[in-house]
Every structure is written in structure tokens, then in C-alpha cells.
Structure 1
Amino acid sequence: MNVSQSEFEEIRRLEEKLHLPEIRRSSEATENLLAEGFVEFGSSGTIYADRNELIIRLAAERTEAPSPPIAARDYAFRPISPDAVLVTYRSIRPATGDRAARHVLRSSIWQRIDGRWQMIFHQGTPTAADS
């Protein structure tokens, strides 16, 4: 089975859901997006290899005030098998108060499991705004 253009758009939508605080704080929503065995190399340098622990950490995230939405751009989709796609893009968290804007190069692998797309790997690498 090949990956269609509409599936690339679905994967992009699912990827961006993980940027939303209301999704990250919902254990059920996060469980639906992250596959069993999910691993993340965070932009902080932390390795998250325990999916259930990560879901608990995300559900506990709190923000004092609503933060500006994260912008994502420069998407590229590369099928790596009939049921897996490598997604790369840049995310930008806008500057707020005394915090500078934060640019991160991101890569994720999404796999079609039991007929639905789930993320099996993610990595974030901080970068300069112009690189």
C-alpha cells in the first residue's frame, strides 16, 4: 500500500495536534497519537523511551498563561516503506516577554498501524532562526 497525498495531509494534521496544549494534556488523545514503543530525542537532549511515562508528563504540563501557537513550516514527507513516512519540518515558538523565539528542526516517523497513523519516533534539534 502506498502513501497518498491526502494521507500526508492527515499526518501533518496529526503532527500539529501534538503542539496543542489541550491535546498534550489529554492522556487519551496522546495515547492515540503515539505508538507502543514510541521514542523521542527531545530538543532538550532528553531521551524519552517510556511512552506511558511521557504521556503522564505531558498530561501534567501546565502553562501560566496561554502561549502563542507554535508555527510549523517547511514540511517534507518521505515515504520510507509502504506504511511509514519520515516527516521533517521547522517549528517556531514566537518570542514572548523576555523569551526569544525558539526555532527547532523536527523529524518524526509515522507508521500506519491497524489502519491508522501513529508516531513511532520524534526528534527535535534547536537551531538558529536563519539556518
Structure 2
Amino acid sequence: MPDLQAHLHALEVALQTKEVRSSRARLLEILAPDFREFGRSGRSYGLAEILAGLTTEVTVAKTAIEDFTISLLSEEILLATYRGIRFNDDGIELRTNRSSIWRLEKDGRWRMVFHQGTPAA
């Protein structure tokens, strides 16, 4: 399972990069067609809103991931949890508890089907 944890950690990190966020093709490799997100703001987003928003971002904030863990829920479903840290232009850290549900697709790729961000206390 360490290899799978490293692989999914790499995908979560990739989703924070300008290279992936600006590429519809790369996002579609990682996000499932039925993807849904409950954002840190409390808003709900489907795949279409995520693609429209991310691919038009002008800047991408500096981020970090800590305490990344995965839990297998079944052979094809797993839960990833971590603390996300976003650094604003003033150097202030914005911490968010994050969880993602990943599904092993028929093509052998793990794709994210759900993501939630909750402000950390």
C-alpha cells in the first residue's frame, strides 16, 4: 500500500500545480466524470464548474500537504485525508482539512470522485 499512497499523494499534489490546473486533458485524467466537490467555502461544484474555474485561473497559490493518509474502503474505493496549507501573498497560512474519495476505474487509473475541504480549527 505504500506505493499506492505515494501515487495518490502525487496526484493530489499535481492537482495543486498550474500545469495540471490549466490543462483540461490532465484534469480529465485525474477527475472522474461524476466528480463532485464541497469546497472550503461551503459551495458545491460538479466537474463542469471545476473545469471552467481551474482552467481559467490566472495564478495558483503556493500550497503544501501534510499528514497524508489513505484508507481502503473496498478494493476499488479509497479515502485520502490530509491537511492542506495555502500560503497567501502576505505569507499567512490558511489550513484546511481535506478528504478525497478515489475510485479505481476500468482503465486501471485511480480517479477522484469526491473532494471536500473544511476550515481547520
Partner of residue 59, structure 1: 55
Output the aligned Cα RMSD: 1.5
Q: Give the superposition deviation at 1:41.
A: 0.1
Give CA-to-partner distance per residue, 1:50-76, whole Å, 9 cap, x none.
Answer: x1232121101112xx64x31100112
Q: Any unmatched runs of 5+ in structure 2?
A: none
Partner of residue 86, structure 1: 79
Corresponding letter in the other structure for 2:51: I
Give CA-to-partner distance per residue, 1:82-117, whole Å, 9 cap, x none.
Answer: 0111000001112432x6310000000011102011
Q: Normalising by structure 2, what TM-score?
A: 0.91
Corresponding letter in the other structure for 2:74: S
Distance 1:53 1:74 in 2: 28
Greater C-alpha Rg: 1
Q: How many residues get paired?
A: 120
Q: Normalising by structure 1, what TM-score?
A: 0.85
Q: Any unmatched runs of 5+ in structure 1?
A: none
Q: Where does structure 1 differ by over 3 angstroms across 4 or more consecutive aligned residues?
A: none
Partner of residue 45, structure 1: 42
